[in-house]
Structure 1
Amino acid sequence: MTATHAPQAHSTKYAWAAGLMVFAAVMLTILGVLDVFRGIMAIAQDEVFLATRNYVFEFDLTGWGWIHLVLGAVAVIVSIGLYQAATWARVAGVAIAGLVIISNFLSLPYYPVWSVIMIAMSGFIIWALCVARKEDLA
C-alpha cells in the first residue's frame, strides 16, 4: 500500500468502527426499552406469559419482571455512553448483553419466542462491541 492510500484506509476503518458502535448503541437502546416493557408486563402479571410446572430455574413471574426491568434500565443507560463511544460503555455493554442472554435463557419457558429474539439481539450487540477496535475509532 502506498502512502497516498493510507488516509483513505484509515477513514474507511473509522467509518466501519463508528458504524458498528452506532449499531450497538441503537440495538442496546431497543433491547433495553423492550426489556423494560417485558419487565413491566411480568410485574403486572400480564397473561402473555406461559405458566410451566417443575422448571428448575422457576422464579415468581414478578421476580423475573424485576430482573428484566432492572437489566433493561441499565441497558438504556449504558447505550447513552455508547453514543459517545466511551470505553466504559463498551465494556458495560458487553456485560449487560451477556446478562440479558443469561436472563432470557433462564426465563425461556415463560415467553419462548421473545426470549430467543432477545438472545439473538444480544449476540449481535456483543459482536458489534467486540469487533470495533479502539484505535479504529480514534
Structure 2
Amino acid sequence: MLMTAISGKTQPGDGVKTPRGASVAAAGMMTLSGALSILMGVSGIAQDSLLVTPSDYAYWFDLTSWGVIHLVVGVVLIVTGLGVLADKSWGRGAGAAVAAISLITQFMFVPHYPAWSIPMMTLDLLILFALTRFYVGTSG
C-alpha cells in the first residue's frame, strides 16, 4: 500500500490566485483613499471650520450631506479595496466603479477644500489606472 503525505501548503501554479503588482498597489491606494474619505466625511458631518461653503456653486450641498457622501464612498472604497486584495471576481470592476465615483465627488468638492480634493483626485486616477490596465491572472 502506497501512502503519500498531502501538504497543506500551496505551491505556485496550484491554481491559487493571489493578486500581484498593480492589483496590490490599487488595493493599498483604495484602502488609503477610503480611510481619508472617511476622515473627510467625519469633518463634514461635524461642520468643521476647515471647510468653506460657497453660496453660488452649481454642485451645492450642505456640509453634512458632503460628509455623508464622503463617509459612504470611503467605506465602499475600503470594502472594494479588500475585495481586490482578496482577488475576488467582483473586486476590480467594483473598485474601478467606486474610484470613478470618488473621482467625481472629489471634483464636485473642489470649491470646499481644493488642497484636499486635487490630491485625492490624483489618487483616484492612479487607482483607476492600476485597476483598468491589462490584467493577466495566475494560470493554474
Q: TM-score, normalised by structure 2?
A: 0.83
Q: Distance in 2 between matches of 1:56 and 1:129?
A: 31
The structure that has the greater radius of gyration is 2
- Letter of the 1:127 counterpart: F
Count the aligned residue pairs: 122
Residue 76 of structure 1 and its aligned partner are, at CA, apart by: 0.5
Secondary structure of 2:57's match?
Answer: coil
Is residue 116 of structure 1 aligned with residue 115 of structure 2? no
Aligned to 2:62: 60
Q: Distance in 1 between matches of 2:67 and 2:51?
A: 11
- Residues 13-47 of structure 1 show CA distances to partners (whole Å, capped at 9, x for unaligned) of xxxx7111000000000000000000000000011
Q: Distance in 2 between matches of 1:102 and 1:54?
A: 19
Aligned to 2:52: 50
- Letter of the 1:76 counterpart: I
Q: Distance in 1 between matches of 2:138 and 2:32?
A: 23
Secondary structure of 2:90's match?
Answer: helix
* Contact 2:53/2:62 (8 A) holds in 1: no
Aligned to 1:101: 103
Specify every segment of 5 or more residues in structure 2 that has no aligned partner in the other structure, as ranges.
1-18
Specify every segment of 5 or more residues in structure 1 that has no aligned partner in the other structure, as ranges.
1-16
Identity %: 36
* Contact 1:71/1:100 (8 A) holds in 2: yes
Aligned to 2:26: 24
Aligned to 1:129: 131
- Residues 79-114 of structure 1 show CA distances to partners (whole Å, capped at 9, x for unaligned) of 111111222010010000000011011111001111
RMSD: 1.5
- Residues 112-131 of structure 1 show CA distances to partners (whole Å, capped at 9, x for unaligned) of 11100110000000100111
